[in-house]
Amino acid sequence: MHHPRSSYLADSSMDHLEGSIPKTVIKRFASEPILRIGFMEGYEKVDFRVSGEFNVTDLDGDPIFNGVSSRLKWRSLIEGGHGATFIYSVLVTACREESEAIELVDKLRRLYPQVRMQRLGGQLVIAGSLVNDNTKYRILAGAFETEAEAKKLLAKFSDEYAPRIIREKVKEPRGKIEVYDAEYDYSVKIEDGMRIVPLSEETTITLYGVKVGSGFQWESMADRTYRGIIEIRVGNDARLSAISELPLDQYLRGVVPAEMPAGYPPEALKAQAVAARSAVLAKLGTKHLNDPYDFCANVHCQVYSGNVSEAESTNEAVEATRGEVITFEDRICDAVYSAVCGGHTEHKRNVWNPPDEPYLQGLYDAPEKDRPGFTLDLSKEKDLRRWIEEWPDVFCALNHDKLPTILAYSRKYFRWEVSYSRKELEDIIKKRTEEDIGVLYDIIPLQRGVSGRLMEIEILGSRKNIRVKKELNIRRALSPTYLRSAAFVIDIEMGEMGTPLAFHFRGAGWGHGVGMCQIGAAVMALDDYRYPQILGHYYTGTEVRNAYSTGTP
């Protein structure tokens, strides 16, 4: 068995093309969950060094080298093979209840006959107790050999939904890897992949040239050190990928300081640890379905930096909250968060596909006693402009007498501005949307959420007009990387001939704005809120519970 998903037990079956519904998936762990985190993809070679004694096995766990103690740099090289084979479909929407999904499939089949539903997630059992059930149902349309064919189907569903293309793997990648140390004391060729297994908890594995911050301004290469098992295998693209396999709370030691600065107040760090743990357990089995791992190490899931950013303060926050999660009606919450909400968080339903979550509702980011005084409707252009021009007294505005330097630095994210010439923005739109609109005439806001974040825009051009839905797509379409948030207004500088010369964006916040505002959490901690109170503020109607043992791991 080549570790297809994770080191949990699973019972599932699926026929993608016929649309059959798999049996309920059960993920069982004897104690603390073990995760598989993908952190390298698309490499021709992967170099590594191990600090202590280790074994090398194949993907089935059969030994290749036993009891190795070598401080030399090792290299793994791809030696041919083929990538995975996929089919491409349109993801129309998703439902929490099976009955709702079946009804929707019947409705959509009148529009397009090849519509099916697919069950994701399942039950999570830890130490014999059912701690969560994150089953949901995706509604898919079509099954095509190419992404281009699938894209032709998007328009059928775009009036009522925000469809997107997904791919489903129908054939695994195969290939051969050569691995050897610097002096060729150890050398072997292995089919499909290998596992580096430390023989003590103190042993660490360093990988060289890991790409971090992919797709963002801070993208770079760095050497990273990891605890636990490292798996190097042939990826879907027929190149090398690397996976870290380790216990959940050990994983959080690398996540919390990567997602929130270690210098933040202790109660904010505890809130971050509980939110990150909750997000993992809420999503387990629903992400990266085409990959041999549970989560990636990037912002798509949660940033995981291995040992490089571990700090005493964040390790203490993870340990102090060991096993704790946020729950809503006995279900673990998908406790998403963003850097700076800009003063108002956003409804989950306005940012991502259904199903909606009652605990992820947009709110004015101030003490409850102050909320009745907030009367602006940020979905309206006039009110949003006023909001952005002001510096309201909300948590993440950083209007605090005793502000640590590390927090003061973040003031620049509360309100921001960026400008492009018309030609610059035309080139950006063409590259980011793959649509040639010609001369850019205007960008029309069509729909905003409760925080003012745009849900849909129309871009007017001389050759064509295009509509862009969902906040991340909008942020991506109008920036070489991503705009800081979709809560922005646009001012156009016009030329003498009535053609735009430049576009000026003024915005609020950094990130999608759903769930916990990290800067707001830090200010709440400065104001003596405890972490359960911080979490209760951002995740409405929730409570903190223990999902697994609080004892020694």
Rounded mean pLDDT of 254-266?
A: 96
The label of the residue with tokens 């610059």 reads 424
pLDDT tens for each residue of 352-370 = 988 899 999 999 999 989 8
Amino acid symbol at 31: S
Rounded mean pLDDT of 258-287?
A: 97
Helix (H) or strand (E) run with residue 454 in it: strand 454-461
Tokens of 281: 């357990």
Q: What is the 8-class DSSP label of residue 352? A: S
CATH code that applies to domain 85-170: 3.30.70.1070
Mean pLDDT of the chain: 92
- What pLDDT is stored for residue 301 in this prediction? 95
DSSP letters, 487-517, are -EEEEEEE-TTS-EEEEEEEEE-BS---SEE
The label of the residue with tokens 């576009």 reads 503
Torsion 516-522-527-533 (CA) sign: positive
- What pLDDT is stored for residue 217 in this prediction? 54
Sorted by where each begins, the domain ranges of the chain are 34-82+173-324, 85-170, 337-514
- What pLDDT is stored for residue 216 in this prediction? 54
Tokens of 87: 């089919």
Residue 544 has pLDDT above 80, yes or no: yes
Give percent above pLDDT 90 in the chain: 84
- Rounded Cα gap, residues 288 and 104, in angstroms: 25
- What pLDDT is stored for residue 399 in this prediction? 87
- Coil, helix or strand for 346? coil
pLDDT tens for each residue of 213-253 = 655 555 678 899 999 999 999 999 999 999 999 999 999 99
Residue 45 has pLDDT above 90, yes or no: yes
- What pLDDT is stored for residue 187 in this prediction? 94
Q: Is 496 exposed, middle or buried (0-12, 13-18, 19+ CB in 10 A)?
A: exposed
The label of the residue with tokens 């549970």 reads 294
Confidence (pTM): 0.91
- Per-residue H/E/C for 105-170: HHHHCCCCCCEEEEEECCEEEECCEEEEECCEEEEEEEEECCHHHHHCCHHHCCCCCCCEEEEEEE
- What pLDDT is stored for residue 297 in this prediction? 94
pLDDT tens for each residue of 284-338 = 999 999 999 999 999 899 999 999 889 999 999 999 999 999 999 989 999 999 9
